[in-house]
């Protein structure tokens, strides 16, 4: 009983995950393990469990139940270091075993479960920048190729003609607007001069008895002209405000939609050209995914282009109806007011303003304070 069997001696050799001998502190662990085992324990009294390559107990030898042979020690179960073959298999699978000083083998790394990656805001922004850069590059290339006469562009002849007419009309309306503003400024200066001249005639009428009637007639005439001029000025300012709204708001809003339509057209042509170039190239395992992705992007921009073209057509239609209605009323107002003023028909001039619901400011009324204007 004093002499140990070779089998037990082989079980005492500690082996690490790379198949080399342990350090000196692991020999003490094996000596304690030797003391815990009863003398004469052979392989017949042990059992070897193996659960395949995915088990955590590969090559672990567990001591089974054994009878008490001449010893008062109670039966204990112990774990012996993995064998050399098991350790080499575990090392090949990347599963390292750590044998702590306490005595029981622990697994350093086990099966790794890949969870869904958390979306990183920085990565999302980077992806948006990448897509924007790619889209800008394609559109810039399309614009340059069109200007050089190398690239093809999609043209809706009817819609393009309407857009050109609208832009030309906008320039003409802006010219009318500038001239009407100049006329309003000059008329305001003339009315102001006539009012001052009437006051001067009235003052001289009181101080010159021999010319009392003559100064009085001229004072009344100038004051009447100044009053009619203020009425005409109100009509012209109303005409300017209406035309300004039509040109700088209604037409400008439609032209903004036209710009969006033109941008969508450039993107559509850029991705169409890209798809055509890919279709002309070879079709293999590398190019087929690119062609499919390009086809999807082309379809997205085609839908956007069709939608913007439809929006522009609708806005042009409503703009034409609104423009005719607004300009008809304003041109009638401008004509009647000018004709009545220079004909000296004060009654007709006032009736024209009432017809278009134009209210004049009371002469001499104080201007609103800055607090009321806020």
pLDDT digits (tens, 9 = 90+) for 217-273: 999 999 999 999 999 999 999 999 999 999 999 999 999 999 999 999 989 888 888
Helices 212-245, 157-207: inter-axial angle, 10-degree rounding: 160
Q: DSSP secondary-structure letter at 101?
A: T
Each residue's pLDDT tens digit, 87-98: 555 455 444 444
Which of 41-45, 126-130, 205-209 shows the lowest per-residue confidence on average (mean pLDDT)? 41-45
pLDDT of residue 370: 46
Mean pLDDT, the chain, rounded, equals 74
pLDDT of residue 89: 54
Sheet hosting strand 46-49, strand order edge to edge: 46-49, 60-63, 79-80
CB 114 within 8 A of CB 242: no
Long-range contacts (CB closer than 8 Å, 24 or more residues apart) made by 253-258: 253/315, 254/166, 254/312, 254/315, 254/316, 254/319, 255/166, 255/167, 255/170, 257/308, 257/311, 257/312, 257/315, 258/163, 258/166, 258/312
Residues 153-159 have a mean pLDDT of 87
Angstrom distance (rounded) from CA 226 to CA 232: 10
pLDDT of residue 68: 47
Residues 184-189 have a mean pLDDT of 94
Angstrom distance (rounded) from CA 4 to CA 155: 99
- Between 87 and 298, residue with greater pLDDT: 298
pLDDT of residue 178: 96
Checking if the pLDDT of 131 tops 60, the result is yes
- Between 177 and 143, residue with greater pLDDT: 177
Task: Kindly tell me the burial class for residue 176, based on how many C-beta atoms sit within 10 Å of its own C-beta (0-12, 13-18, 19 or more).
Answer: middle
Angstrom distance (rounded) from CA 81 to CA 26: 10
Which residues lie across from 49 on neighbouring strands? 60
């Amino acid at each position: 009983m004093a002499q140990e069997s070779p089998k037990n001696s082989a079980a005492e050799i500690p082996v690490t995950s790379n198949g080399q001998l342990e350090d000196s502190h692991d020999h003490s662990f094996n000596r304690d393990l030797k003391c815990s085992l009863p003398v004469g324990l052979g392989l017949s009294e042990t059992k070897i469990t193996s659960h395949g390559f995915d088990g955590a107990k590969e090559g672990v030898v567990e001591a089974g139940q054994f009878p008490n042979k001449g010893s008062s020690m109670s039966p204990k179960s112990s774990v012996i270091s993995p064998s050399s073959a098991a350790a080499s298999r575990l090392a090949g699978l990347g599963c390292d075993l750590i044998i702590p000083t306490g005595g029981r083998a622990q697994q350093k790394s086990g099966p790794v479960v890949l969870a869904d990656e958390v979306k990183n805001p920085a990565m999302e922004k980077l992806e948006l920048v990448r897509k924007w850069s790619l889209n800008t590059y394609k559109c810039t290339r399309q614009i340059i190729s069109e200007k050089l006469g190398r690239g093809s562009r999609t043209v809706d002849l009817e819609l393009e003609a309407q857009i050109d007419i609208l832009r030309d009309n906008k320039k003409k309306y802006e010219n009318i607007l500038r001239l009407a503003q100049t006329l309003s400024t000059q008329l305001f200066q003339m009315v102001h001069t006539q009012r001052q001249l009437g006051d001067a005639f009235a003052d001289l009428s009181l101080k010159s008895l021999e010319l009392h009637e003559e100064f009085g007639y001229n004072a009344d005439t100038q004051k009447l002209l100044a009053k009619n001029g203020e009425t005409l000025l109100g009509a012209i300012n109303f005409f300017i405000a209406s035309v300004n709204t039509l040109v700088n708001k209604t037409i400008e809003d439609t032209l903004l939609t036209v710009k969006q339509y033109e941008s969508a057209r450039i993107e559509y042509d850029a991705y169409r050209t890209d798809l055509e170039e890919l279709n002309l190239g070879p079709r293999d395992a590398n190019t087929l995914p690119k062609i499919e992705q390009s086809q999807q992007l082309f379809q997205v921009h085609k839908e956007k282009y069709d939608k913007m073209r439809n929006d522009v057509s609708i806005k042009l239609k409503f703009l034409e109806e609104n423009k005719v209605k607004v300009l008809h009323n304003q041109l009638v107002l401008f004509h009647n007011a000018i004709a009545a003023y220079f004909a000296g028909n004060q009654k007709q001039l006032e009736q024209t303003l009432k017809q278009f619901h134009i209210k004049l400011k009371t002469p001499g009324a104080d201007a609103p304070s800055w607090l009321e204007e806020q």
